[in-house]
């Protein structure tokens, strides 16, 4: 194509050779014939005959808690173990920064109110939770 020349003729400029565009494909309902979707899935087996076991979350505290273990389904009193928590470590760091006396920074790790309480099942040993102070 040269500058200033006429552009090439377009396909639709020639009316004699013009063809209509192809038809769009049919919609889903037209292709299926107006039949709705099949029924939802229904299981082929019967439900279990035993009672359903419902597990609830039991809040744990600073003392052993009476509950049903979600792992072994036994009725238990939890076994507790106290370990230093975040409060004990933060308190120890503050004491170490300000007092600088050897050994004084370990005092919060011995105070019971600074300890977290961890609960376990006595039957299967499953970890059941932690009570943070």
**pTM, to two decimals:** 0.54
Higher pLDDT, residue 95 or 1 = 95
Reading the block at residue 107, the tokens are: 């005092």
Q: Is residue 79 over pLDDT 90?
A: yes
Per-residue confidence band for 5, with pLDDT thresholds at 50, 70 and 90: confident
**CA angle, 79 as apex, 77 and 84 as ends, to 5°?**
140
Q: What number is the average pLDDT over the span 85-101?
A: 85
What is the rounded CA–CA span in Å between residue 61 and residue 69?
A: 16
φ, ψ of residue 88 in degrees (nearest 5): -65, -40
Per-residue confidence band for 83, with pLDDT thresholds at 50, 70 and 90: very high
Per-residue confidence band for 44, with pLDDT thresholds at 50, 70 and 90: low
What is the rounded CA–CA span in Å between residue 102 and residue 30?
A: 86
Per-residue confidence band for 78, with pLDDT thresholds at 50, 70 and 90: very high
Q: What number is the average pLDDT over the span 54-58?
A: 69
Q: Which residues contact 119 (CB under 8 A, 6 or more apart)?
A: 60, 64, 65, 78, 79, 80, 127, 128, 129, 130, 131
Q: What number is the average pLDDT over the span 24-43?
A: 66
Of 73-77, 81-85, 96-100, minimum mean pLDDT range:
96-100
Q: Is residue 88 over pLDDT 70?
A: yes
What pLDDT score was predicted for residue 92? Answer: 87
What pLDDT score was predicted for residue 25? Answer: 77
Give the per-residue SS3 of the chain. CCCCCCCCCCHHHCCCCCCCCCCCCCCHHHHHCCCCCCCCCCCCCCCCCCCCCCCCCCCCCCCCCEEECCCCCCEEECEEEEEECHHHHHHHHHHHHHCCCCCHHHHHHCCHHHEEEEEECCCCCCEEEEECC
Q: Bridge-partner residues for 130, per DSSP?
A: 118
């Amino acid at each position: 194509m040269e500058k200033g020349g006429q552009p090439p003729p377009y396909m639709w400029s020639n009316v004699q050779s013009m063809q209509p565009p192809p038809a769009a494909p049919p919609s889903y309902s037209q292709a299926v014939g107006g039949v709705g979707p099949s029924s939802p899935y229904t299981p082929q087996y019967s439900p279990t005959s035993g009672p359903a076991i419902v597990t609830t979350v039991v809040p744990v505290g600073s003392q052993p808690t009476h509950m049903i273990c979600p792992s072994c389904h036994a009725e238990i009193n939890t076994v507790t173990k106290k370990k230093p928590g975040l409060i004990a470590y933060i308190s120890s760091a503050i004491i170490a920064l300000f007092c600088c006396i050897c050994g004084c920074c370990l005092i919060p790790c011995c105070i019971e109110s600074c300890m977290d309480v961890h609960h376990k099942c006595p039957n299967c040993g499953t970890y059941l939770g932690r009570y943070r102070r």
